[in-house]
Each structure stands twice: as structure tokens, then as C-alpha cells.
Amino acid sequence: MDWGQLWEIVSAPDNVPIVAMLFLVPFFTWYGFRQALANDRLIERLSKDPELAKTHHRKVEPYREGWSQKLYVWPHLLRVEFLAAIIVTVILMIWSITLNAPLEEPANPNLTMNPAKAPWYFLGLQEMLVYFDPWIAGVVMPTFILLGLIIIPYVDTNPLGNGYYTFRQRKFAILTFLFGFFVLWLSMVFIGTFIRGPGWMWFWPGQTWDHHRLVFEVNRDLNEIFGIVNQPWVGLFGAAAVGLYFVVFGWLTHKLFVWNDFNRKIFQQMTLVQYLTLQTFLLVMWALPVKIILRLVFRIKYVMVTPWFNI
Amino acid sequence: MNDDEKSVTPEPESDESGSQRPTSLIDRLKKGLSPFIAKGKKDLRAAKDYKRTQVWKSVFRHKLDETPRNRALAVLTNVFLHLQPAKVNRDAIRFGFTWGMGGITLYLFIVLTITGVFLMFYYHPTKGQAYLDIMYLHNDVPFGGLLRNMHRWGAHLMIITVWLHMFRVFLTGSYKTPREFNWSIGVILLVLTLLLSFTGYLLPDDQLGFWAVTVGTNMARATPLLGHEGPFGSLLGMTAYNDVRFALLGGSIVDANALLRAYIWHCIAIPLILAVFLTVHFWRVRKDGSISGPAPVMLESEMKFPRK
């Protein structure tokens, strides 16, 4: 265990935000889910007791007869905002006094940094480069992530859970978002920051960064396993493999989507365009973990090889 | 009032009596000034009741007594506060529901704008000079180090708060009807925030920024059709000197032009674009019915689907 190495990574000034996120994200997840589960218990109680549902104020927040539902922004909200601004300023001041922003040697194109890392918030994309060619990891995937985020409200036709925390009523949406945010985005950022060392090789936390380390990986393409080596058969085989992925995972996603009665009801309300859009983005999303497993477990580099591009 | 008049009235009498005593200079001065002194005393008295002066009334457009009407007017008649409604949901003020991350993001954007403007006074976007400027700023300018640190850490913090803001909006389902479009605007704001941070990364012109931006922009080479190493790029005549990466960097390597471009995107173009989207974002928050909740829970038996 090389504590010095670990400290060097954790205490690098630009890594401090990620260390902060290690605490902030679990806290807010717990905080949100605590309220979601409280609401879920209320929902269960109310759906069992229609009489209560008619009279209950339907919130878990404290409620007293005669309380005005609305408060004046001045002073009630502005006081909170002012306090928040002061607290953020104090935190930022203390952080800025105690820790200096990084400044390394002047830029030198002849002296390559190893590892050369992108800013921490883009390390997820850089980590994706291990599993996909740059045109997918650097261009197609970011585009799909952003478009995927934008279309969320237009494909999520579930009318429940609008404006309150709940898990029970939105299981599919919440689990998908958590999978994308935690597993595919944040964990990749953490791996890119804490795990990847010189040569973008895998170093466990506390393992010394050995700049002369060599790893002999024998990666092969999927078609080579099947003994197909000549074009155009390689390309056609790859296209078939990708097509098979879309069919199989499309079917699996569909099964997952119509898992229970409630979801089937939601599915019935969707238009074909909404459903196909959802499927497309989910399939592109699943492709990342699938490719990670293919690469890390089965040592497969490309699934589809063509003269112009590889997947 | 009466006191003033008494002190002034004896003067004309002595004048009219036509006494031989020549009027002293002091007396004449007193007499000449007395109307002004009277006015001054009047002003002083009025100043005690300053809220009735014309100046005060012209600036502050309503009274400040603690009445419901004035509490509403305090928000509605203030250009900075009228972004907010006069009244909000009692439960929406609770930290538990909102987490306050959107507001903190706005506050950080303001802090970054202010510290950023100060930084611009000390910075030349020129190869060679840029690095020296940062050294100078950090070591010699009074509070320069603090200024730069606040800008850097504020930027990192802003990215975290944007992510947490999105996370909260998702968990509370606040992107649902009628707030769909505002969620999309929010995603664009997320992109702009990341781009702001990324373009700022190069500006110190040190090894960290240089290689981070080199790694980042190298991906643009692989853009399908538009990058010279991307699929079908070379078929369309893309080279290192005319592809999308060249347009981003103003050259085929990260050099002086890239520094200037990063500087202009960072300080002018992206903040302006972001300000426009920010305006729409806030406007829509209000027009879509203010903060989404905490709304009363809805039961499955009451589910209604909107008509398409």
C-alpha cells in the first residue's frame, strides 16, 4: 500500500471537487430517497383508504389547519437566499485561502504529460476511449448523452410523481437515471481520476504509479474468434453482430419496460415515435456497459470492423 | 415655524426707523441670509422625515411599513427581485425539497463573473505573456491569489451544483408537464457551463491546461464526416488544416490562436449565450407556475393522461 501515492492523487488540487462529490452525491441521494420513501408510505396508505384520500392534505410536510398555504417571498424566501449566499461565500473563501489553484510548468508541446488527463468533469468521456474509438467516445456518445437528457420529458409519459419525491411510482425512470448518472457517468469519472495512471493503465488506489509498467494484453476482434478474417465478410459479420445486439437488447429492454401492470398502462399511452426514441437512446446507453464487459472480461476490442470505421 | 419668524421680524423695524446708526455689515449679511437659514432649517426638519422627500419617493416606489401590500411590492418593484413571485408555497422554502442548488448555481455564476472581470485586468491572452501574468497575479498582485483561487474553485463548485440541481429536478419529476421545455433549456445550460469551464482550463497556459485541452480537442479529429480522422472524413477531403478541430483551435496544434479563441469564448461569447438561455430558463420557471412542489401526491387511481 503506497499511501504517498494515494495522497498525491487525492490531494491534487483539481481532484478536490471529486473527493467532495464522494460525500455530496451519496448524501443527497440518501436525502432525496428518504423523502421519496416517506411519500411512498403515504401513497400506500392513501390508496388503501379512499376515504382518507379525500380529506388528507397529501403531503408529508407538517400541516396545521389555518396555516396560510403561501408565504411572502420577502422576507421568508429572501432571508434563506441571503443566508445561502453567505454560506457559499464563506465556504468558497475558506477553500480559496487554504488551497491554491494548480499552476504547473509553462505549456510545453515537447514534454508530454503522462498521464495527460482532461478536466475532471470530462474524465468519463476519456475513460470511454478505452472501450470505443474516439469518434464514438468523443463525439457520438456525448451527443447522445445530451440529446438523451433533452428528450427525457418527452418520452417519460408517466404522469405520476410530478413535483414530489417518489420511487414507487417512477421505478423505471429513476432506476434508469441512477444507472446513467452513477454507473455510467460518475463512476467513470472516479475511475479516470483515481484509478488511471501512466499510459492510462489500471492502478488500484494505493498502488504505485510505475511509469515503466508494461501490460501484455492480447485483444482480439469478435470476428477473429469466429475465424472470419477477410472483408467484406468481416464487415458483414460485424453488422450482423451489431444488429443482433439491437434485437436482443431491444427485446430485453422491452421486457424490462413492461415489467408490471402499471408500466404496461404507461406503455399503452406512448406513441410509436416516443417508444422508438426511448428504445434508441436506451440501446445506445446499454452499449457502454456491454462494451466494457466485452473488453475487460472477454478481451474483445472491436465488434464490427470495416475499412472506414470500427465499433 | 414661530421661532424663525420672531428672529426675523425685528430686522425690518430697525430699517424703517431710519436710525442714524449705519447698518453694520454683519446685520446686512444676517438680513440677506435669513431666508436661506429659514429654508435650511426647514430642510433639516424635513430630513428627519426623509421617507417623504421627493428623492426618496422617486427611488423607492412604496412605503416600507410591514403590511402585506408592501411585502409584495418589495419584490415586485425591484428589478433584481421581481424574478421571484410575491408569494411562494410554504413547503417549497424547506431546504429538503429544493436543496437550493439552482439558486447557488446562479450565485456562483455571479461570483465567477465578478472575479473573472477582475482577472481580465491582469491577463493578456498571448503566448508567453499569459503564464507570466498568472505568476504575477498569484505572487505580486494584492489578493490576486485569492481572486484566482475563488475563480477556479467557484467554477468547480458550479459544475457540482449544476449536476445536483439536475439530480433534484429529476428525482422530484419536475421536468414533467408543463416544464418539459425548461428541462431542455437546462440541459443546454449544463453544456454551456461545462464549455465555460473547459475553455477557462487552457488560459493559464500551463502544462495542465495545455494537455487537457490537447486531449479534449483531439477527439474532435475523429468527428464523423467533419474530422480528418473520423469515419468518412478523409473521403470528404478533411485534413488537419480544414477540419472541425482546426476551426476550434485556429490551427492544427494548441497554440497562440487556440489561446486567443479560448479566451474570447470564455470571457465573451459563452457568457453572453449563457445569459440569454439563463433569462429564458428563469422566465419559464415563473411562467410554468414557479417551483414544482412539493406537490400533493397523486394516486394511481387518479391518473389522467394528457391528450396528444
The C-alpha atoms of residue A77 and residue A38 are separated, in whole angstroms, by 25
Q: Which three cell numbers stand for residue B262?
A: 479560448
pLDDT of residue B239: 86
Report chain A residues whose CB lies below 8 A from the CB of B91: 59, 61
pLDDT score of B9 more than 60: no
pLDDT score of B14 more than 80: no
Structural domain spans, chain B: 58-87, 95-292
- Residue among B75, B164, B209 whose CB faces A73 most closely: B75
H/E element, B138: helix B129-139
Least Cα separation, residue B121 to chain A (angstroms): 19
Q: How much of chain B exceeds pLDDT 90, in percent?
A: 48
Q: Say whether residue A309 is in contact with chain B using an 8 A CB cutoff.
A: yes
For chains A and B, CB pairs below 8 A equal 302
- pLDDT one-digit tens code per residue, A80-89: 999 999 999 9
Angle at B101 (CA atoms; ends B98, B104), nearest 5 degrees: 130
Q: What are the backbone dihedrals phi and psi of residue A288, each rounded to the nearest 5 degrees, phi first?
A: -65, -55
Contact A46 B87 (CB under 8 A): no
The C-alpha atoms of residue B97 and residue B163 are separated, in whole angstroms, by 16
Mean pLDDT of chain B: 87
Nearest CA in chain B to A261: B300
First to last CA, chain A: 38
pLDDT score of A208 more than 70: yes
Query: How sure is the predictor about B308, in pLDDT bands with cuts at 50, 70 and 90?
Result: low
Report chain A residues whose CB lies below 8 A from the CB of B232: 308-309
- pLDDT one-digit tens code per residue, B272-299: 999 999 999 999 999 998 888 788 888 8
Structural domain spans, chain A: 3-296
Q: Quick one: which of B132, B130, B206, B131 has its CA closest to A109?
A: B206
For residue A24, what is the DSSP state?
H
Greater confidence, A217 or A237?
A237
Greater confidence, A264 or A113?
A264
Q: What are the backbone dihedrals phi and psi of residue B23, each rounded to the nearest 5 degrees, phi first?
A: -65, 125
- Average pLDDT rounded to a whole number, residues B37-44: 91
Report chain B residues whose CB lies below 8 A from the CB of A74: 71-72, 74-75, 81
pLDDT score of B5 more than 80: no
In CATH, what class is B95-292? mainly alpha
pLDDT score of B12 more than 60: no
The three-class DSSP label of residue B78 is coil
The C-alpha atoms of residue A264 and residue B224 are separated, in whole angstroms, by 38
pLDDT of residue A173: 93
Q: How much of chain A exceeds pLDDT 70, in percent?
A: 100
- Residue among A101, A140, A166 whose CB faces B148 most closely: A101
Angle at A160 (CA atoms; ends A154, A164), nearest 5 degrees: 105
Greater confidence, A64 or B6?
A64
Contacts of B133 (CB under 8 A, 6+ apart): B122, B123, B124
Whether residue A244 contacts residue A159, with contact meaning beta carbons closer than 8 Å, is answered with: no
Contact A163 B308 (CB under 8 A): no
Angle at B125 (CA atoms; ends B121, B126), nearest 5 degrees: 125
pLDDT score of B1 more than 50: no
Nearest CA in chain B to A76: B93
Q: Quick one: which of B284, B58, B299, B183 has its CA closest to A47?
A: B299
pLDDT score of A104 more than 60: yes
The C-alpha atoms of residue B167 and residue A177 are separated, in whole angstroms, by 9
Mean pLDDT of chain A: 89
- Average pLDDT rounded to a whole number, residues A149-175: 92
- Write A84-90 long-range contacts (CB < 8 A, 24+): A84/B100, A84/B103, A84/B104, A84/B107, A85/B107, A88/B104, A88/B107, A88/B108, A88/B111, A88/B157, A89/B111
Q: Which three cell numbers stand for residue A148?
A: 438523451
- Average pLDDT rounded to a whole number, residues B257-286: 95
- pLDDT one-digit tens code per residue, B164-175: 999 999 999 999
Lowest mean pLDDT, pick from A81-90, A229-238, B13-22, B252-261: B13-22
pLDDT of residue A279: 94
The three-class DSSP label of residue A300 is strand
Contact A125 B299 (CB under 8 A): no
The C-alpha atoms of residue A204 and residue B239 are separated, in whole angstroms, by 40
The C-alpha atoms of residue B9 and residue B15 are separated, in whole angstroms, by 11
Greater confidence, B304 or B162?
B162
Considering just the CA atoms, what is the radius of gyration of chain A in Å?
25
- Residue among B86, B220, B231 whose CB faces A73 most closely: B86
Whether residue A182 contacts residue A171, with contact meaning beta carbons closer than 8 Å, is answered with: no
Dihedral angle at the C-alpha atoms of B159, B161, B167, B170, nearest 10 degrees?
Answer: -100
The C-alpha atoms of residue A26 and residue A119 are separated, in whole angstroms, by 22
Q: Say whether residue A262 is in contact with chain B using an 8 A CB cutoff.
A: yes
In this predicted complex, what is the ipTM? Answer: 0.93
Nearest CA in chain B to A28: B164
Mutate to test the interface with A, among B83, B104, B153, B253 (most CBs of A within 10 A): B153
Lowest mean pLDDT, pick from A22-26, B247-251, B265-269, B282-286: B247-251
- Please give the distance of CA B125 from its chain centroid, rounded to a whole number: 24
B-facing residues of A in 71-90 (CB < 8 A) are 71-78, 80-81, 84-85, 88-89
Residue B65: CB atoms within 10 Å:
9
Report chain B residues whose CB lies below 8 A from the CB of A52: none
Query: How sure is the predictor about B123, in pLDDT bands with cuts at 50, 70 and 90?
Result: very high
- Residue among A31, A32, A92 whose CB faces B154 most closely: A92
pLDDT of residue B21: 63
Q: Name the burial class of residue A131, with classes exposed (0-12), middle (13-18) and buried (19+) by CB atoms within 10 angstroms of its CB.
A: buried
The most confident of the ranges A38-42, A58-62, A228-232 is A38-42
Report chain A residues whose CB lies below 8 A from the CB of B81: 73-74, 78
pLDDT of residue A12: 85
Q: Say whether residue A174 is in contact with chain B using an 8 A CB cutoff.
A: yes
With cell 475487460, the residue in question is A296
Least Cα separation, residue B119 to chain A (angstroms): 14
The three-class DSSP label of residue A72 is strand
The three-class DSSP label of residue B92 is helix
pLDDT score of B2 more than 90: no
- pLDDT one-digit tens code per residue, B196-238: 999 999 999 999 999 989 888 888 888 888 888 888 888 888 8
Contact A121 B97 (CB under 8 A): no
Q: Quick one: which of B266, B110, B134, B281 has its CA closest to B195?
A: B266
Considering just the CA atoms, what is the radius of gyration of chain B in Å?
32
Least Cα separation, residue B165 to chain A (angstroms): 10
The C-alpha atoms of residue A31 and residue A54 are separated, in whole angstroms, by 29
Nearest CA in chain A to B91: A61
Contact B87 A73 (CB under 8 A): yes
Listed in sequence order, the DSSP H helices in chain B are 2-8, 10-16, 25-48, 54-59, 68-76, 95-98, 101-120, 129-139, 144-171, 180-202, 207-221, 244-249, 256-264, 270-287
pLDDT of residue A269: 87
pLDDT score of B61 more than 90: no
Q: Say whether residue A16 is in contact with chain B using an 8 A CB cutoff.
A: yes
pLDDT of residue A1: 78
Report chain B residues whose CB lies below 8 A from the CB of A54: none
- pLDDT one-digit tens code per residue, A210-229: 888 888 778 888 888 888 88
First to last CA, chain B: 76
Q: Quick one: which of A70, A88, A59 has its CA closest to B102?
A: A88
- pLDDT one-digit tens code per residue, B73-89: 888 888 888 888 888 88
Q: How much of chain A exceeds pLDDT 90, in percent?
A: 42
- Residue among B150, B216, B301 whose CB faces A118 most closely: B216
- Average pLDDT rounded to a whole number, residues A133-155: 92
- Average pLDDT rounded to a whole number, residues A24-44: 94
CA A52, A55, A58, A61 dihedral sign is: negative
Greater confidence, A260 or B182?
B182
Query: How sure is the predictor about A207, in pLDDT bands with cuts at 50, 70 and 90?
Result: confident
Q: Give bridge partners of residue B89 from the DSSP assignment.
A: A70
Mutate to test the interface with B, among A19, A65, A74 (most CBs of B within 10 A): A74
Nearest CA in chain A to B81: A78
- pLDDT one-digit tens code per residue, B48-58: 888 888 888 88
Contact A162 B292 (CB under 8 A): yes
Q: Quick one: which of A275, A36, A282 has its CA closest to B293?
A: A36
Report chain A residues whose CB lies below 8 A from the CB of B231: 135, 308-309
Least Cα separation, residue B53 to chain A (angstroms): 25
Contact A97 B152 (CB under 8 A): no
